Chain A
């Protein structure tokens, strides 16, 4: 299997357009840039490789409009539905996953004024202590960044087609059950 990557003309991925977001605000330049939209700095990605939070954060922090960056990192822990967990196996529904994550990001962008959002979700086998998911939200101020990050995680947990299986030390495994408190957390957003 291969990892599926999708990004929409992110500043960080396209050196030709690096910095174009801030230039477009310059009235002396001809207005050749597309209108501001959910594009630059917004990215969702599903990957088999380990998540490197520092690398993901760096281009977001460089954005001069960003004053607050909130990160959520979900990590494989020892005790879930069962104890003695040594790894997770994460399965997903390719194409639908990316589409679902994008619609969650679009909803967050409609509710808060955000400069950047990056969601990276790992799939395949993930050992204890390693990251399963990274959500980075950047805004001018911390209030919207904190709120949007919580919103994104609540919706990811209930709307994005991922399934986790816990692998125990003795080799036994079992699918993680969906939690009612995750549904409740999602509903508070109306």
Chain B
């Protein structure tokens, strides 16, 4: 046990380890890595990077699991959407990517030894989190994408829609921050 502790104490002070796993990357490094990986995911899966659309599919699969049927829902009515649902959870690139993000984030915070279960400070936080999550998720589906699918991937694909999305994202963020300072300051 002592040898193990010594090893980890030494590792925590190792310059390269600290640089890669502990200190946050600069925005520039992050941007370059994101750009590379969105090209990779586009090349491998044949579709641009998206996040929130997959969550709607997770919801549909969960609903199917309890005996529900979404075949006649307008959102899932296209042949493409049906094909994705029929291929299933484990054959969906978006699912693998999102699981990768979740477990990757967990791994990153553990490697930096920054994992912490945060306490909930007030009921206000709970209400804001649930309400905010619902509005964001619902809005992302109405817009056919979130800040990844409709903004990042759209702009990377030279689509004008990404810039339109960006403009309204800023307007939304402006009013969002007004609400934030009104209720949380």
A and B associate in one complex: no
